[in-house]
Amino acid sequence: MTTLFTSYRLGDLALPNRVVMAPMTRVRAATGGLATPSMARYYAQRATAGLIVTEGVQPSLVGQSNPGTPGLYTDEQVASWRPVTEAVHTNGGRIFAQIMHGGRVSHPDTTGLRPVGPSAVAAVGEVFTPTGPQPAPLPRALDTAEVTEHAESYAEAARRAVDAGFDGVELHGANGYLISQFLSSNANLRTDGYGGPVTNRIRFVVEAAAATVDAVGAERTGIRLSPGGTFWGVEESDVTELYTALLAELSRLGLAYVHLELTAPEETLVALRRAWPGALVVNPTLPLGAKQTGRADADHWLGLGADLISFGRAFIANPDLVERLRTGLPIAPADEATYFQGGDKGYLTYPAYQHSA
């Protein structure tokens, strides 16, 4: 019988359990997008997860969404990540870098550059900047000739990730960022080969995934998707058709996994499970919702055909989450005020469960 604690073979990796640490923005990087010794400790503390997926890592300066996030586009950034991957591996873990291009969800005050997107349509809401939240600016629409450059930025970041010691990468195709913007029917108003019908709207993500597979191998490449999600004001018409077509194309590439968020009805996600022949990771609670993923949610989705289950916020205050889930120990609450404040408080200060004598 398959359980959350049954081992799993993911490409070349032998995972000791099916618990995945989901990517979570923590804005603890140093100036220049560098990883820090605190980040090495943070991820190493959570190395009992079957797989760790890092916070979103920008593949270029223009791809940076939030201040304080790390990058993988300079030699200095690569060098800064090596102690992180070494620490995780020393503790017996496995770690993928999530490659995240923010697209229109950015601001010149953060990067010094005007954000880019598939079309000149601003995101809905305020974006984070070094001086606080500001209205999302109008992005510059990418010329057709530029689109390939941004698709290939994922592949170049993946090469650097492997050089930094990561076991693989996850392309961030969810939550209203650049890939999600191309999939969208209201953020993408293009009339060239990257916009309009489903076959065109999936083209950017397929090209980004194919370039990454060519760069580091299919067994090192996963992707996260949020079917039907409305983050930052994106909308998607024909959700089932869109994602069925996308998964058909991605299946030809033999990706290590697809990581789905709970942004569509259960029957839609189950249909996508049937459409995807490879490994499936499911995050079984609504992103940014009130509910935190628990053991019952995990067991439910394993029963529906998921291979791996990702946990986000539960990992913040519970570095020993796998053991707590295994033994039924209480899941400690996290202090939301420390999510994005920087520093080690609320980052490295959560202990493993203290057993009383």
| Radius of gyration of the chain measured on its C-alpha atoms | 19
Q: Residue type for 45, please?
A: Q
CA distance 333 to 101: 30
CA distance 77 to 107: 21
Both structure tokens of 276: 């995807």
Buried b / exposed e along 231-246 (16+ C-beta atoms within 10 A): bbbbebeebbebbbbb
Angle at 120 between CA 116 and CA 126, to 5 degrees: 75
Question: What residues contact 64, with CB distance under 8 A and at least 6 apart?
Answer: 33, 58, 71, 102, 106, 110, 111
CA distance 246 to 200: 10
> For residue 337, with 0-12 CB atoms within 10 Å meaning exposed, 13-18 middle and 19 or more buried, which class applies?
exposed
Catalytic residue among 42, 177, 194, 257: 177
Based on the residue annotation, tell me whether 42 is a catalytic residue of this protein: no
The residues that are catalytic are 177
